Amino acid sequence: MALTMDSPPPPLVPRRCGGLVNKIHDGDCVLVLGPRIAMPTAIAGADNVAVDDYLAGKLLEDLALAGPTSFREAIAQYEQRPGGASALRSLMQQLVAEFDGHTTDLHRHLASLPFRLVLLTTPDTMMATAFEQVGKTGAVQACYDYCGGRASEVPLVLPSPTAPIVYSLFGRHNRPESMVLTDKNLLDYLVRITKESPALPDPVRATLRAPATQFLFMGFGFTNWWLRLLLKVLDVTGVENRGVSLALEDDSSFASAAQSNRGFFESAGIFIQAGDWNALASALAARYKDDQAKRAVAAAAPRATQTAAAVGQPGRPLVFLSYASEDVETVNDVREGLAQRGIDVWQDRQNLRGGQNWEAQIAQVIKRVDYFVFVQTETMDRRDARRERGVYYRELDLALDLTKDLRPGTVFVIPTTMGQCSSLPQLSDLHRVRLDDQQGIEELAAAILESFTPAVDGINAGSARAAV
């Protein structure tokens, strides 16, 4: 009889960005906030007013012109008045200073996450205020001052989740000469930062260029030609072996970005899509809070409970999931889906505890589980092309070796795929289950449940379930 259970929740990020949530939890994700982020309602006088839209409106208001227009166009019009450049800088300083002490729920949700580095493309202090409000008083603000030739106005050390760096790429309002406003400012800035005159602070540069770093962009606006150059100079793109980063844009910015522009950045490892960054930030904060609570419970659990990881509940099949570490987020969806269907899952990140001999523990677990599920993805193919080693192949070899002692027809190794994957010769005789949607998870669960026979004494024997 078919099981009638609620489907597991959808992944927080697209599958091609698998592992990003885990990177956030581990402090290996850099947050990049752009000008399309909404500003505080108390200042804007309405909900969901983007920072650049608000500033553009105020510039036009000072010129006694009607809008709407883009921020860049408003600046160009303001420059045309006598003394426009100086007046523009003075007015912008006043306008952005109104943001001081204010922040939004979006910023607070993001501040609750363990980001070590936040890059800003607007000259406000809303993120620093959010860090202060959530108790991260060790957060440090710094800005790139192209005009004064300073990469930071304060000494910086390597950031941490409790002492993050909030780095303003285009200057900050309380250092008005540092703000990049006009097209001439932008060209001067690009020359300076490309020539490393000055170079980015070492702690910022080291965080950006680390291969383990991925990026989460919100409201960045991937529509300008010079962004290709800037992101390359910042080591956001062009770093080998880095996972796919995610850029969320509002509908108007996503539509403005030409398909070729999106294609370029996606080929460089940044997946751009339209999305609700407020909802994502709220969900990420809730997921992280829940994850921290579970870790606290696990840390307080007796040692005997922690080491009993390779024993499933009586009467339920126990499955080992083998996968590439970059795919942990998408594999978590599979684990949750199987658990909801009455199947226990052993997964290294969930069950392996600090201090245990990793390799010996993995070998023992594979010998004791009822099923070995190999999750093959495009990540593995990419790693194969780069001739990178993968411990998942050792796990697979061990599982296949165990099948030699099983009766012919026994279901033990179950190959599965996500995305377009090449065929592995050692698995060519076995049916592969595609896990690209909930139907695939349902098929996998059915294959396990239909071939599983609980032991008479209620304790699963492991590795010896004959096919029905």
In Å, how far from its chain's centre is CA 353? 24
The residue ranges of DSSP E strands in 164-235, in sequence order, are 165-168, 214-218
Neighbours of 157 (CB within 10 A): 11
Assign domain 310-451 one CATH number from 3.40.50.920, 3.40.50.10140, 3.40.190.10, 3.40.50.20. 3.40.50.10140
Check pLDDT > 70 for residue 109: yes
pLDDT value at position 199? 94
- Alpha carbons 400 and 184: distance in angstroms, whole number: 64
Nearest to 71 by CA among 54, 84, 88: 54
Check pLDDT > 90 for residue 280: yes
Give the mean pLDDT of the chain.
85
pLDDT value at position 348? 56
- Alpha carbons 217 and 161: distance in angstroms, whole number: 18
- DSSP-assigned states of every residue in 263-285: HHHHHTTEEEEE--HHHHHHHHH
Q: What is the pLDDT of residues 398-432, one digit of tens each?
A: 999 999 888 888 999 999 999 888 889 999 889 99
Q: What is the pLDDT of residues 199-243, one digit of tens each?
A: 999 999 999 988 889 999 999 988 888 888 999 999 888 777 788
What is the average per-residue pLDDT within 432-441?
89
Neighbours of 50 (CB within 10 A): 22
DSSP-derived pairing of the beta strands 344-346 and 318-322: parallel
| Alpha-carbon dihedral sign for residues 410, 411, 412, 413 | positive
- Alpha carbons 373 and 451: distance in angstroms, whole number: 14
Check pLDDT > 90 for residue 143: yes
- Alpha carbons 263 and 257: distance in angstroms, whole number: 10
**For residues 192 and 4, which has the higher predicted lDDT (pLDDT)?**
192
Domain borders along the chain are: 15-281, 310-451
Q: What is the pLDDT of residues 50-97, one digit of tens each?
A: 999 999 999 999 999 887 788 999 999 999 888 888 999 999 999 999
- Alpha carbons 434 and 324: distance in angstroms, whole number: 16
Report the b/e string of 342-354 with b at 16+ CB within 10 A: bbbbbbbeebbee
**For residues 329 and 231, which has the higher predicted lDDT (pLDDT)?**
231
Q: What percent of the chain has pLDDT over 70?
A: 87
pLDDT value at position 346? 82
Q: What is the pLDDT of residues 342-353, one digit of tens each?
A: 899 986 554 444
Q: Predicted confidence band at 467 (pLDDT cuts at 50, 70, 90)?
A: very low
Check pLDDT > 70 for residue 356: no
- pTM (two decimals): 0.68
Q: Predicted confidence band at 383 (pLDDT cuts at 50, 70, 90)?
A: confident
Check pLDDT > 80 for residue 372: yes
Prior bond of 35 cis (ω within 30°): no
Residue 29 CB burial class (10 angstroms; 0-12, 13-18, ≥19): buried
Nearest to 85 by CA among 187, 198, 176, 192: 176
Coil vs helix vs strand at 206 = helix
How many CA atoms, within 13 angstroms, populate the side-chain half-sphere of residue 373? Answer: 28
Type and span of the H or E element at 346: strand 344-346
pLDDT value at position 305? 41
- Give the chain's count of helices (H) and strands (E): 20, 12
Asked if 134 and 110 count as a contact pair (C-beta separation under 8 A), the reply is no
